Every structure is written in C-alpha cells, then in structure tokens.
Chains A and B, each alone.
Chain A
C-alpha cells in the first residue's frame, strides 16, 4: 500500500514569491492534515480536513496561507507571499477517521508523508 505522497520534496524560492505544496493521502483515508515543522521542533498542526471540509484551521495564518481539498482526496497548501520565516518542513498526514457517534474513544493513527522542505531566500 502506498503511503502519503508529497511533492515537491524540496523547494527554494525568493521572499515575496508564491509557493504551493501538494499532498496525496493514503487511499481511503478521509482525514488529511497539514503540519509545519520548524528546525529542531516538533510538528505543529496548520489545518485538518475531514473529507473536503476544513474542520480545524485555527492555526493557519490566513493572511498568507491557504489550503484546499476540493474532491476530498488530494490537497494543496499555498503560501502567498512567502516570507523568510516560512522556511521549514511542511508535512502532510492522513488518517481513517471513525464515524461520529462511535463508542471507541480512541484517537485515529496519523500517517505522515516525507514532507516538503521549503527554503525562502
């Protein structure tokens, strides 16, 4: 089974330029996450989708960041314009979420892609 696919793996741009990252989750996974990982830190959630709905985007800097998951499968994260401080690794993850109302109070396991390393010059 293929894992989470991300592209590109590396991206170097100049500040003020736009950039976009693409993610294809594991087949059948209805929940998709974008995380930001700064150097020497753990990942932090930017946005979570359940199918095509963004259900948690409270950490997404909406002045310059946007994301979409139009058909509930793959997703794109965009930054426009990029700033020097945006240099980081952008991780995508997916999970198969249990339906609401289930009695299984267990967190879904998230599976991560390799990430896109962004360098803003």
Chain B
C-alpha cells in the first residue's frame, strides 16, 4: 500500500518569493506521482505528474517538481509566486502499472501575502 506525507499543512509566503511544498511518499513498489491544486469552491486540477524519464517535471503556472527516488520525495517548487497561487495543493501517488487508485496527502495550504 502507498501513503503520502505532506510535511507542511500551511505555508505562508510573500508575493514574488520562491516556494517549496514538500511531499514524501511510501511504497513497496514503483509509483507514479502527481501534484493537484484546489482553488476555493473548485475541483482539483492537475499541476504536473511524473510517470517516467526526466526526474524534473514542469507543470502549469510555472510550477515544477523533482522526483527523488532515494529520498522518496516529490517536492513542488515555484521561483516566484503570485497572489493567484493561493490555494490548497495535494500530492498524490499511484502504483506503477497497477489499477490502484490515487492516494492523496492531506494537503498544503499555500497563502501568498501581498
């Protein structure tokens, strides 16, 4: 079984500052990794996903994440945040080649301060 730990429940950051949202996972098999964003009163939207290949994955809205197999991490980064990035961010994992569902972390609330 897989599990996901998002190490920070809330991250406040000033506008135009860089941000890193941390995600660690646990699995006995190889996995796919995802980051989703949830804006208020909206559904989750995929930011990026890692399936294979390059460990640095670029997503929408200037976000990127790096898969680190040895540290079982998939941290999300953005070099300069905007007010509009204020949202809840969820890291998720699913089993490679399996029909297993997504397993989500508890989320990190990013608050961008003007």
Does A pair with B? no
Please list the residues of chain B having a beta carbon within 8 angstroms of any beta carbon in chain A. none
Please list the residues of chain A having a beta carbon within 8 angstroms of any beta carbon in chain B. none
